[in-house]
Amino acid sequence: MGLYGVDEAVIPYNLNGESNWWHDINDSPLWQDRIFHILTALYGLVAVIALVQLVRIQLRVPEFGWTTQKVFHFLNFLVNGVRGLVFIFRRNVQDLHPEIVRHILLDMPSLVFFTTYALLVLFWAEIYYQARAESTDGLRPIFFTINVAVYSIQIAMWLVLWWKYIPVLVIISKMFFAGVSLFAALGFLLYGGRLFLMLQRFPVESKGRQNKLQEVGYVTVICSSCFLVRCIMMCFDAFDKAADLNVLNHPVLNFIYYLVNSDTQGRKNCKNRC
């Protein structure tokens, strides 16, 4: 008997029993389905919001073509719609062969997700430099160059994996996604922060200044934080099998990871303008 009349052997037994809830949920097909159904509903909702925003903008200003705002909402609709479909058929996706097809279905939306929010950073950068009466001619070529480079590198890794499965290359691919997420987080901090500070210097009586200031501040903090969390989780995913995100038996990790993504998109889509 230990102190206070409690058998010492009972303590680790109880602790182990209490800690098994994580494994119980992960190993339960019922909980796996529930979590992926919840994610489907969340991503479907965000996709619908993005589509509604796109239609509203088109009806309001039909004379304009594909503006930055329209492209942003369309890409949000595309990313969330595809994610929702993948979650609905998650078990079928898990059984796809060759394995590279599964990687493409799960990872391609992440690339489009990066493009979507890089577009928002581009929009903010253009506003910032235009307000300072500086040229913005080089921003769009840089945006396209970065995106072409990101897609080219990832597609090249997919092709190599299709030809021959190399475990080390899978780790490199995950670290590449982590690096892309970190790059996006830094972009939001840089241009979101600059735009926020610039708006602070505007006269207090400026129309809409306070609302725009809050919007830029909130979106900067939320997006940079979410991309940073994505980066950290992808790093763990790359080196720790227990933190693997693209498997059915880690639904809790999947829920946290993809909830961060849907929160980023949902909050931004709730704004009527970029």
Binned at pLDDT 50, 70 and 90, residue 4 comes out as very low
Whether the per-residue pLDDT at 133 is higher than 60: the answer is: yes
Distance CA 122, CA 72 (A): 11
Radius of gyration of the chain (CA): 22
Q: How long, in residues, is the chain?
A: 274
pLDDT at 150: 96
Confirm or reject CATH 1.20.1070 for domain 3-269, answering yes or no. yes
Cα torsion through 170, 173, 177, 178, rounded to 10: 70
- CA-nearest of 82, 84, 77 to 56 is 77
Mean per-residue pLDDT for 218-247? 86
Please tell me which of 43-57, 232-246, 258-272 the model is most confident about, judged by mean pLDDT. 43-57
Which of 69-73, 123-127, 248-252 is predicted with the least confidence, judged by mean pLDDT? 248-252
Binned at pLDDT 50, 70 and 90, residue 19 comes out as low
Report whether 136 contacts 123 (CB < 8 A).
no
Which of 99-108, 143-152, 165-174 is predicted with the least confidence, judged by mean pLDDT? 99-108
Whether the per-residue pLDDT at 203 is higher than 80: the answer is: no
Name the H helices within 95-138: 99-131
- CA-nearest of 212, 215, 189 to 202 is 212
Report whether 99 contacts 165 (CB < 8 A).
yes
- Domain segments of the chain as ranges: 3-269
Report whether 255 contacts 42 (CB < 8 A).
no
Helix (H, G, I), strand (E, B) or coil at 250: coil
